[in-house]
Amino acid sequence: MGYSISWVAVKKKTPERLLQEMGLSPTGAMADYGREPFTGRTLPSGWFLLVFNKCEHKFIRPDSLTSLSSNCDLVAASAEEHVMVSTSEFWRNGRQIWRIEHDAQESIDHLRTSGVLPDSYTAIQRQCAEEQEQAGGKNADADYFFDIPLQTAKSIVGFKHDDDDGLEDDGFEVFKTYASSSRTKPWWKVW
């Protein structure tokens, strides 16, 4: 069994504001990330992290990220371990600054990048490429390129879904979509 999740982390925007924009409200319950549809917490780095238990969640599509990154910095990532696809991207004030993606279905060393990548990217890419080569290159049973987008995102916000970052296992608050029809529906709902 592998992870199939995505997440966004914001800085310079309050968690309350982000949740309001997404049409989410706190439940008061705590859980492991990825076990509920929406879980989140403020990380030791100061970024507020919201995890979705679905890869390529609608909240990390470009139209959503354009809106969600308004007046803030935002990092989004997605990991589908069943087919070894991972992405990360950085947005600021409604504009994508960079994006990294890996899709092992294309090739074990597939990597597509765009924009102005962060300083940490070069060292991360080099280290993962060396590990891939030491494991047998394209014939290896391991996929080290999968980690490149995710390690790059971690270098900024301090979170990677499969790392022990010292976060409590059940230290994530559970959020839900607005249940009341009297509230204004979230901007992303078309139904």
pLDDT digits (tens, 9 = 90+) for 156-179: 999 999 887 767 666 899 999 975
168, part of any domain: yes
Q: Higher model confidence: residue 127 or residue 2?
A: 127
pLDDT in tens, 113-125: 999 999 999 999 9
CB 96 within 8 A of CB 60: no
Q: Is the pLDDT of residue 98 over 50?
A: yes
Average pLDDT over residues 129-154: 96
187, part of any domain: no
Structural domain count, the chain: 1
170, part of any domain: yes
Average pLDDT over residues 37-51: 96
Q: Is the pLDDT of residue 59 over 60?
A: yes
Q: Which of 38, 91, 40, 51 has the alpha carbon at shortest distance from 68?
A: 91
**How many helices (H) and strands (E) are present in the chain, helices listed first?**
4, 9
88, part of any domain: yes
Residue 74's φ and ψ, nearest 5 degrees, are -140, 135
Q: What is each CA distance from 162 to 13, 33, 79, 159, 165, in whole angstroms?
A: 26, 11, 10, 9, 9
185, part of any domain: no
The total number of residues written for the chain in this structure: 191
Q: Can you say whether residue 93 is alpha, beta or left, with left for phi > 0 and alpha for psi between -120 and 50 degrees?
A: left
CB 61 within 8 A of CB 190: no
Mutual angle of helices 147-157 and 120-134, in 10-degree steps: 140
Distance CA 142, CA 144 (A): 6
Q: Which of 36, 33, 7 has the alpha carbon at shortest distance from 22?
A: 7
pLDDT band of 34, cuts 50, 70, 90: confident
182, part of any domain: no
Q: Is the pLDDT of residue 96 over 70?
A: yes
143, part of any domain: yes
Residue 180 confidence (pLDDT) = 43
Distance CA 90, CA 14 (A): 18
Residue 187's φ and ψ, nearest 5 degrees, are -60, -25
Domain membership of residue 77 as a residue range? 4-177
Q: Which two tokens stand for residue 112?
A: 């597509």
pLDDT band of 191, cuts 50, 70, 90: low
Q: Is the pLDDT of residue 151 over 70?
A: yes
188, part of any domain: no
Q: Which two tokens stand for residue 64?
A: 């959503």
pTM of the model: 0.90
pLDDT band of 103, cuts 50, 70, 90: very high
Q: Higher model confidence: residue 93 or residue 165?
A: 93
Mean of pLDDT over the chain: 91
